[in-house]
Structure 1
Amino acid sequence: MANDNNYIGKQIGNYRIVEEIANGSFGGVYRGVHIYLTKRVVAIKVLHRAYLGSQKDRDNFLQEAQLLEMLKHPYILPIYDVGIEDGIPYFVVEYAPNGSLRDHLHEHFPHPMPVDMTLTALTQIGQALSHAHQQNIIHRDLKPENILFNSRGDALLADFGIAVLLSTPRTTPVNIIGSPLYMAPEQFDGMISKRSDQYALACIAYEMVTARNPFLAPDAVSMALKHKTEKPIAPTQINTYLPLPVERAILKALSKERSDRYPDVPTFIAALHMFPSQKSKEQWLDEGKTLLDSEHYQEALVAYERALQIDPNFADAYDARGDACCCLNRFQEALAAFERAIQLDPTYAHAYEGKGNILYNLKRYQEALLAYERAIQLDSSSSAAFNGKGDALYYLNHYQEALLAFERAIQL
């Protein structure tokens, strides 16, 4: 293998490195493509050469791979393979194409993230943390950079590089290591517990709902003092739209004393959700459409889910959900959403049109044509349905019929 900064184009295991994703203190992360299954894209973490001389560092690096293998969970970054190439340890994990929580925070800055998107991500990461805690494993380095989003938009907990196994049920002495912005007060004193991870998750929650950290300081010593002694500004003073129960849950999880926090992460997550929806299903639908128009597709999906929680038989929400999934290239989910809308309302022309679009993208042109024709039967004024019909006919080699469909779309 090559130098740390020259892996691009090289082969590691069965994968060819195509680009660098991130470069941390102990290792680099690269995007790789399988040399035979060329549509299989992965992320590959490689230990920096500077640490190869230390057996302890090599063991610690491979320990992360072992933890990922042990902690299989829908919201923990899955591991595919591990090995040693030219004496350099590496492991292969799922590639998360939708970036990190840090990316999403930057995208929304200076505004906070939508509450529903925040709660969805926190719930998923909370479930992942709880699973790790059940194995007495403490992550120790929760931060937005270590929360990734997969192709489905789900949040995945990543980077167990400094995770530790609790030696006692309550607390364990450890080296002082972590990310000071998100470290619990006791962590600065070299003590950790499951509630230390809860505190870090609350710091992340605070940042998501306010677009700022609970504490800022010029150095780690000053940061430690703030975490230990200073009260954070109430989130609702920054984000007046934040429901008070969400604020109370975050502030309790940010308590200085471990015993004042929630007994476990699931209890914290449950407290975040203890507020009634003040919006109607129609308002959630409208909010989702606004988010969709501004290309915030994942947030739009969350809004549609809230509408469906109020009314599980809301055909309009399923139709809109199909549009959002289509924009995210989640075609099978989109198809299921459109078909559910049609099942609830067999006269739903737009849902047939959406179904046609998905089938067209899946290159199922004959089925797409049938869907477009049904949409036109229900709404003969839809130029989009005629245009879709023309596209399907073109790929079915029915050129004259395609021309007629396109001409009708132009007329409309």
Structure 2
Amino acid sequence: MVAENRLIQRRYRLLDTIGRGGMGEVWRALDESLGRQVAVKCLKPLGPRHEPSFLQVLRERFRREARVAAALQHRGVTVVHDFGEDDGTLFIVMELLSGRNLSQLLDDNRRQPLPVPDVIEIAEQVTAALAYTHEQAIVHRDLKPANIVRTADGTVKICDFGIARLGHDIGFTARLTGTGVAMGSPHYMSPEQIGGHGVDHRSDLYSLGCVLYEIATGVPPFDLGDAWAVLVGHRDQVPKPPRTLRPDLPEAYERIVLELLAKDPDDRPRDADELGKRLTDARHPHPGRATVAAGFADVTVPVPPLPFWTEGMTFGSPVGATRRPQRYPVDGTATVLTGTWTGGIAPQDSGASPAAALASPAPPDDRRAALAELAGRHTAALNLGRLGRWEEAGEAHRALAAARERLLGPDHPDTLTSRLEAGHALGRLGRHFEAHQIYAEVLAGRERALGPDHPDALSCRHHVARNLGRLGRLEDCRAMAQEVAAARVRVLGAQHPDTLATYCELAHVLGKLGMWTEALHTYQEIAAARAATLGPDHEDTLTARYEVGIGLGRLGRGAEALALYRDLVVDRTRAQGADDPETLRARHGLGVSLGRQNRWQEALVEAREVAAARARVLGPEHPDTLVSRRETAVALGWLGRWSEALDVYRQVADARERVLGAAHFDALASQGDLAQCLEQLGRRDEAAARRRRVAALHQERAVRRARKRDGTWSAGPRVSSG
């Protein structure tokens, strides 16, 4: 159809074919203007047997839907960079994804169901992407495993929005009409789609139910002999409950899948937002137990005796960056698109480079089995981290990185991903110097294999920048964060979630440097961008607004901060409920702002209510609960009620020392609070004794940090921020 090495629009150099399908070909190409690799989809000429009017409609729909797809900006939607026509060939330029689509994942696993954590992870990410696209009045209409990709970093992306809508509008379903244009898949079509009735966003929810059923059980809900039998099944038959095929699937998720597969759209969840809330509600692990995937089998293991408040804890950036769902990386570097486009060629795994992967033959069964085993080991290692067992998680990731290097090579994306996760584990253990060494080496490998502007390389540079901040190298962190943000704007766009995540890191370090005017301006821009792309009630938008409130408070603009927090509490309560931890965080900010306005009686009432709610929701010794209890003591002190304040300060100090250790920064701060309170009560000798103890612990902490730095820092390369 088109020739290798052809230059499209004097910009996109076609390198090699990724796949072929009914509508055309997909090429790996080089964008010579920006020096990055992309995927180029070329529409196949349909020939003289089609009516001219049909061809005209096809071209117009192609152009219109390409514009629609290009306007979508969400982490869970494949990025469209460009589209056009070159010498009679219509084309779309999209981001080049490294990963596997869900159909390929099932094939890799010999059509066995995916691990339960993977099913949950995929369900939540696809639901978030559908919520966004449905808000833009876009209905996919062809959601299926081949159109959903899980990339090497665990991100789940929906592909082919434009093509799917195009197919529905023209009015064809390929495998039924025989036109040769792949416009639908019987196994995933909703009853209203089949009957030719009106289709809305709930049709996508039905298709998602079909996808979740298949990845949870290994088979579609109506796995019948031919296309017509499948369509009749969708219309008339009740699907077999998934737990009859997969007993370890939690009942809550079975209920959700069956509700999605309701014949009547009115019986399904109202929209993707409601579905997202149901998925969140379903995440209730049994106390003291957790599931860890070992290989592709799920085994239940006892959780070690961690504090109650660690259950369900997420470990995101402290600056409120975009929340990234727990990642379950997959094996295989091959670029993945969709079954519609790649039905004829399935890219296979390789051990050397992405280019070699695209040209390599299918791996033998033993190689597939080895890759499947490594994928399971990666999932198990990630779950150890989710349980807070970072030492074990780090060891597991290091061993896995060595195994992947032997099988795939040192610069293979999956090898580098495992090494990166080992660095994350070290960071969680406070071993930031060692983490820095790993980040630097992974960054060098990714830039070697992919180029400095590849999204994966930029993701690694983002981690390097953040880790520089943890090392106290704030100016280096600021400089590198600015560079990464500028690169992500250039490559991904100014409003891409990853770009905004880097701007969050930049704003955070600006605040730590005392540059609060610049930090506030950055947070305000992030909040505005997220509101425009994600909506005003999206979690990430609300998080950015909270950070704006912090900036206003730091700059002494207390009245503005107070008004912001009042509105934020209302919006959080509406979107997530009164007892959601983030709603309580907004209420905490409201209480602090009341205190800064010298409205201490109101601040005391708010602090007590939030402390009680956090104790009920998070536990009495959760760090956030203790922060609210400390705020209660602060308010009591300002009201002159020092004896009451002393009791609360002492309780907080004892809890922090018990949970965090005597030398932890927060525990030391609590000892300082106690000393100040004792001074106010005239108990100067006790206050002096507290301060001496704090000084001794600070000195001990400094010595330990110096020894750790001297023992590990010199061994690692120094990453320049320039």
Same fold per TM (> 0.5)? Answer: yes
Following superposition, the deviation at residue 198 of structure 1 comes to 0.3
Determine the C-alpha separation between the residues in 1 that align with 2:293 and 2:232: 45
Question: 2:42 — aligned with what?
Answer: 46
| Change in 2 beyond 3 A, CA 1:33/1:209 | same
When residues 252 and 328 of structure 1 are mapped into structure 2, their CA distance, relative to the original with a 3 A threshold, is: farther
Secondary structure of 1:72's counterpart equals coil
Give the C-alpha shift of residue 223 in structure 1: 1.9
Contact 1:322 1:338 in 2 (8 A): no
Pairwise CA distance, 1:180: 0.8
Among 299, 317, 328, which residue is 2:393 paired with?
A: 317
Q: What SS is found at the alignment partner of 2:90? A: strand
Q: Distance in 2 between matches of 1:375 and 1:316?
A: 23
Q: Tell me the SS of whatever aligns to 1:226.
A: helix
Q: Of residues 158, 183, 188 in structure 2, which corresponds to 1:182?
A: 188
Paired AA for residue 240 in structure 1: P
The answer as to 2:239 corresponding to 1:239 is: no
Residue 18 of structure 2 corresponds to residue 12 of structure 1: no
What amino acid does structure 1 have at the position aligned with 2:98? P
Secondary structure, aligned partner of 1:137: coil
Gaps of 5+ in 2: 174-183, 299-327, 330-368, 402-412, 446-463, 465-706, 718-722
User: For the Cα contact (< 8 Å) 1:117–1:299, is it kept in 2?
Assistant: no
Distance 1:193 1:174, change over 3 A: farther
Name the residue aligned to 1:136: 137
What whole-Å deviation, never above 9, does each CA across 1:99-156 have from its counterpart, x for those lacking one? 2111111111232101111211221111111111112211000011111233423111
- Correspondence for 1:383: none
Q: Does 1:28 align with 2:35?
A: no
Inter-partner Cα distance in structure 2 for 1:68 and 1:260:
29
**2:15·2:30 contact (CA, 8 Å) conserved in 1?**
yes
SS at the partner of 2:416?
coil
Letter matched to residue 251 of structure 1: L
Deviation at 1:201, TM superposition (A): 0.3
Kindly indicate whether the alpha-carbon contact (under 8 Å) linking 2:269 and 2:275 is maintained by their aligned counterparts in 1: yes
Shift of 1:47: 1.1
Letter in 2 for 1:267: E
Match of 2:427 in 1: 340
Distance change >3 Å, CA 315–CA 288, structure 1 → 2: farther
Work out whether residues 46 and 90 of structure 1, in 8 Å CA contact, stay in contact via their aligned partners in 2.
yes
| Shift in CA distance, 314/262, structure 1 to aligned 2, threshold 3 Å | same
AA at the equivalent of 1:253: L
Q: Secondary structure at the match of 1:99?
A: strand
C-alpha displacement of 1:281: 7.8
Contact 2:25–2:44, Cα closer than 8 Å, also in 1: yes
Amino acid at match of 2:190: A
Instruction: State the match for 1:259 in structure 2.
Output: 266
3-state SS, counterpart of residue 209 of structure 1: helix
Go from structure 1 to structure 2 and tell me whether the alpha carbon gap of 1:86 and 1:331 turns closer, same or farther (over 3 Å shift): farther
What are the residue-to-residue correspondences of 1:209-288 with 2, within 5 Å?
209-273=216-280, 274-278=282-286, 284=292
Bigger Cα Rg: 2
Provide closer, same or farther for how the CA distance between residues 282 and 196 of structure 1 changes in structure 2, counting only shifts above 3 A. closer
1:314-346 CA-partner distances (Å, limit 9, x unpaired): 454366567768844238954750441341x68
**In structure 1, which of residues 199, 207, 219 is the aligned counterpart of residue 206 of structure 2?**
199
Task: Tell me the number of residue pairs that the alignment of Structure 1 and Structure 2 aligns.
Answer: 356
Q: Provide closer, same or farther for how the CA distance between residues 324 and 180 of structure 1 changes in structure 2, counting only shifts above 3 A.
A: same
Q: Report the AA paired with residue 48 of structure 1.
A: K
Cα 1:362–1:308 shift into 2, 3 Å:
closer
| Residues 361 and 183 (structure 1), Cα distance of their counterparts in 2 relative to 1, 3 Å cut | closer
Identify, as 1 or 2, the structure richer in helix: 2
More displaced, 203-212 or 231-240? 231-240
**CA distance 1:103–1:286, shift in 2 (3 Å):** closer
Output the TM-score relative to the length of structure 2. 0.44
* 2:326 pairs with 1:329: no
Against the structure 1 CA distance between its residues 342 and 217, is the aligned structure 2 distance closer, same or farther, given a 3 Å change threshold?
A: closer
State the shift of 1:222 in Å.
Answer: 2.2
In 2, the alpha carbon distance for the partners of 1:267 and 1:298 equals 32
- Per-residue CA distance 1:67-105 (angstroms, 9 max, x = gap): 212211111000112222112221210111212111111
Q: Distance in 2 between matches of 1:232 and 1:376?
A: 63
Taking structure 1 as reference, are residues 363 and 139 closer, same or farther at Cα in structure 2, changes over 3 Å only?
closer
3-state SS in 2 of match to 1:92: strand
Which piece of structure 1 moves more, 58-67 or 355-364?
Answer: 355-364
92-101 or 81-90, which deviates more: 81-90
Take 2:73 and 2:146, find their aligned partners in 1: how far apart are those partners? Answer: 20
Counterpart residue type for residue 268 of structure 1: L
Q: Please say which of residues 272-281 and 70-79 is displaced more in the overlay.
A: 272-281
1:119 corresponds to: 120
Q: Secondary structure at the match of 1:113?
A: coil
Partner of 1:89: 90
**Residues 133, 109 of structure 1: alpha-carbon distance in 2 compared, 3 angstrom cutoff:** same
User: Are the aligned partners of 1:32 and 1:43 in contact in 2 as well (CA < 8 Å)?
Assistant: yes
Distance 1:70 1:256, change over 3 A: same
How high is the sequence identity, in percent, across the aligned residues? 26
Residue 203 of structure 1 aligns to a residue in which SS?
Answer: helix
Q: Which is strand-richer, 1 or 2?
A: 1
Q: Could you tell me which residue of structure 2 aligns to residue 108 of structure 1?
A: 109
**Secondary structure, aligned partner of 1:225:** helix
Which structure is higher in RCO with an 8 Å CA cutoff and minimum separation 6? 2
TM-score (norm 1): 0.74
Relative to structure 1, is the Cα distance of residues 376 and 250 closer, same or farther in structure 2, using a 3 angstrom cutoff? farther
Q: Write out per-residue CA displacement over residues 370-391 of structure 1, whole angstroms, 9 at most, x where no aligned residue.
A: xxx979969xxxxxxxxxx8x9
> How is 1:359-398 mapped onto 2 (pairs within 5 angstroms)?
359-363=440-444
Equivalent-residue separation in structure 2 for 1:272 and 1:154 (angstroms): 18
Deviation per CA, 1:6-53: give whole Å up to 9, x if none.
432222232222222222222321111234655x22110111122695
Q: Structure 1's 33 and 276: CA in aligned 2 closer, same or farther, altered over 3 A? A: same
